[in-house]
Amino acid sequence: MTSLFRIIKFALQGFFRNFWLSVVTITMMLMAIFSVTLLVGMDYIRQATIDGVEQKVDILISMKPEIDKDKVETLVSDMNGLSEVKSVRIITPEENKVLFEQSNLDDNTKKALEIFEEGENPFSYSLAIQAHDLDQYVIISEFAKQDKYNGWIEDSTFRDYETFVEKINNLAKMVNKYSWYVIAVFSLISIIVIFNTIRISIYTRKNEIMVMKLVGAGNWFVRMPFLLESTFYALAAVLIMIAIVYFVISFLQPSLNTYFQGTQVIDLSGYFRNNFLFIFGVQFLVLSFLNIVSTTIALRKYLKV
C-alpha cells in the first residue's frame, strides 16, 4: 500500500514537475489521436451522407390515368411481396395535383392545369417505392417492367436516377474500401510517433533513472511511476481531444443542419455522444497500452545500471 502510494506520488511529481516535457509529449499524442478521430468523424460523415442519399432515392411509378385503385393496390401487394422492397407509398391523384401546384415549376407550366375544368383532375395514381439497398432498385425496376403490368404503368422515373445511384454506390464501396487503408496508415504513423515521443521523453530523463538505480531503487520501483505517468499522458491527451471534438462540433453541427435543411442527415454530435465510450474509451486504452509498451522498451536500456 505504501509502495503504491509512493508510485502514484512519484508519477504525479514526474508528470507535473517535467511540465514542458509533459506538454510536448501530450501534444504529440494529441496529434496522433486527432488524425484518427478526424478519420473516424469523416468516415461517419461519409456513411451518413450515403445513408441520407439512399433514404431520398426511390422509384416513382406513374400509373396510367385509367388504372383504378384496385389495380394500384394489386401492384402494391405484389411489390410488398418482394424482399427487396422496404416500403411502398400510394400517392393519390389528388395528392399529385397538390404536389404539382406546390412544386418549383414555373407559373406558365402550372397554368397548364387551367385548361381542365373545375373538379377535373388529369393526374393519376403514383407509387413511391423504396428499397433496402441501392443495388436492389434495378431488381424492383425490372419487376415493374413485367408484361403483366404493361398496360398499367405510364412511366417509371427510376431511370433518371439509375446512373446517379450506380455512381453513388460505386463511390461508397470504393471509399469504404480505401478509408480503412487510410485509417490503418494513419494508425501506423501514430504508433511510430507515440513510440518515438516516449523514447525521447525517457531519454531526456535517463540520468534520473540511473541515479535512482544507483541509490538502491529496484527496477519495478523505478519503472512503475514511469508507466503510470505514461497513462497520465494518455488520459490528458484523450481529455483534450474530447474538448476539441465537442468544441468543433458545436460550431460545425448548426452549419451541417443548415446545409441539409434541418433534416440532421449528419448528426455529428449525436454520433460522438452515442459512441462516446467506444471512441474515446478505445483511444484511451490503445494509447495507454502503446505508452506502457513504449515506456517499458525505452526504460530497459537505462535500468541496466
Partner 1 sequence: MIKIHNLSKNYGKDVHALRDVNLHIKPGEFVSIVGQSGSGKSTLIRLLIAEEKMDSGQITIGGWEITDIKNHEIPTLRRQLGVIFQDYKLLSKKTVFENVSFAMEACGFKSSDIKKTVNQMLSLVGLKDKRDRYPHQLSGGEQQRVAIARSLVHKPKLLVADEPTGNLDSINTREIIDLLKKINNLGTTVVLVTHDRDVVNSLRGRVITLEKGYVISDQENGKYLL
> Should residue 213 be labelled a site residue for partner 1 when binding is judged by CB under 8 A?
yes
For partner 1, how many residues bind (rule: CB under 8 A)? 21
x/- mask, partner 1, residues 43-62, rule CB under 8 A, reads --------------------
Q: Is 14 in the site for partner 1 (CB under 8 A)?
A: yes
Is 212 a binding residue for partner 1 by CB under 8 A? The answer is yes
User: 280-304: buried (b, 16+ CB within 10 Å) or exposed (e) per residue?
Assistant: beebbebbbebbbbbbbebbeebbe
Residue 18 contacts partner 1 per CB under 8 A: yes
- Output the nine-digit C-alpha cell for 111: 397554368
| Nearest-angstrom CA–CA distance, 29 and 202 | 15
* CA–CA separation, 197 and 208 (whole Å): 18
* Segment lying near partner 1 (by CB under 8 A), choices 9-17, 40-48, 74-82, 126-134: 9-17
Q: Which of 23, 112, 184, 305 lies at the binding interface for partner 1 (CB under 8 A)?
A: 305
Tell me if 13 contacts partner 1 by CB under 8 A: yes
**Looking up cell 487503408, which residue turns up?**
181
Q: Are strands 85-91 and 126-131 parallel, antiparallel or unpaired?
A: antiparallel
Is residue 215 part of the contact set for partner 1 (CB under 8 A)?
yes
Question: Which member of 2, 102, 104, 108 binds partner 1 (CB under 8 A)?
Answer: 2
Q: Which of 98, 102, 74 is nearest to 88 (CA)?
A: 74
Q: Does 1 bind partner 1 (CB under 8 A)?
A: no
Instruction: List all residues 6 or more positions away from 262 whose beta carbon is below 8 Å from its beta carbon.
Output: none
Among 122, 218, 254, 281, binds partner 1 (CB under 8 A): 218
199 residue type, one letter: R
| Interaction of residue 171 with partner 1, rule CB under 8 A | no
**Cα three-residue angle 199-200-201, rounded to 5 degrees:** 90
Task: Name which of residues 174 to 193 contact partner 1 (CB under 8 A).
Answer: none
